[in-house]
Amino acid sequence: MEAVEKNFENLSLSKPLEPKRLTEQNDPLHIIKTRLKTHGRPATISGPMVRYSKLAFRQLCHYYDTDIVYTPMILAREFVRNKYARISDFTTNKEDSPVIAQVGVNNTTDLLRVIEMICPFVDAIGVNCGCPIKEQVREGIGCALIYNEDLMVDMVETVKSKYGNKLRMEMKIRIHEHEKPERTLRLCERLCDAGVDWITVHGRLKGTRSSQPVDLNAIKYIIDGLSGRNVPVVANGDCFTVADMARIQEFTGAHGVMSARGLLNNPALFAGFDKCPWGCLERFLYYCIDIGGLPIQLVLHHVYCMLENMQVLKRYLKQIMTLQSMVELLMWLENNFQFKRYGQSGFATGVEIPYKNE
């Protein structure tokens, strides 16, 4: 434990934490396997988003019935070598659970180093094998990994050999561009044999734009092909409403459904709100102030996405990105809306936009 504490001295923890121990309440694998039976719905999961899956946003999603959340992708090499990267990439607290640290990595050694540093404070590790960003692919990270099947298998075998069931491990993949999706199924079978706890399948190819529909048939093909194994599959892509979640699960047979863009626009999606409720924005800003450390540009982007989803009048959207600080943002909200702060009557309970001047 002494070595872990030394490694962790440069990680950003909002409050001192004890190392985690898996229980049914915070074990992502248990949640993914049982939600259909216990809740009549699949496990609800917030997908990892570079920059945007920070602690305040994760807490907001948890509040609105998201079962499992992910950190932004952590670049393993930078995280291991650079204390400033650790401070920037990972902040947590005791309410941040279940949380999965997603790692962008191109070798097993760096993966093990990140795990040694971070695993006592997260509930699972996920490896990003689906990011299509060219810079990452050139480094052998993200989508590049699904064409390096032996390395993926080695990562799973090595991690599970060392940690066993003390650490859950997930691989998040896309569909291969060649021999699709048969090659992807063969890869998943190898990952199952290596000991992976669950697999998340984003139903798009490396070059498929997010504006094109997700391929649910490919996800279903993989899930059907793994039906004889005890490894659940999470479906990722095009989940923007609870109706989408139910449709995706029913069609594919997935144990869990992941949303990223949908939750960015409407963090209350899994609580059944088809549009982001006003109270969600108030609660998010409370978390931002309470936790601190989120750059104002990211705060403004979150607020912009939520208000756009609420269908706020366009002139307000134009004004948001001219603001320079949290103080300006709060003043702008109070000048234009019936904005409630934590502790005030009606805080975070509103649904419709409470305009002052319309």
Structure tokens at 160: 């599970």
Would you say 339 and 333 are in contact if contact means Cβ atoms under 8 Å apart?
A: yes
Q: Provide CB contacts within 8 A for 343, sequence distance 6+.
A: none
How, if at all, do strands 43-46 and 12-13 pair?
unpaired
- Residue whose tokens read 């992976």: 196
What letter would DSSP give residue 228?
Answer: T
What is the C-alpha to C-alpha distance for residues 50 and 319, in angstroms, rounded to an integer? 25
Would you say 88 and 75 are in contact if contact means Cβ atoms under 8 Å apart?
A: no
Would you say 232 and 226 are in contact if contact means Cβ atoms under 8 Å apart?
A: no
Would you say 49 and 264 are in contact if contact means Cβ atoms under 8 Å apart?
A: yes
Residue 131 bears catalytic tag: yes
Would you say 119 and 163 are in contact if contact means Cβ atoms under 8 Å apart?
A: yes
Residue 90, burial from CB neighbour count under 10 angstroms (0-12, 13-18, 19+):
buried
| Given the residues 61, 129, 131, 143, the one annotated as active site | 131
Active site residues: 131
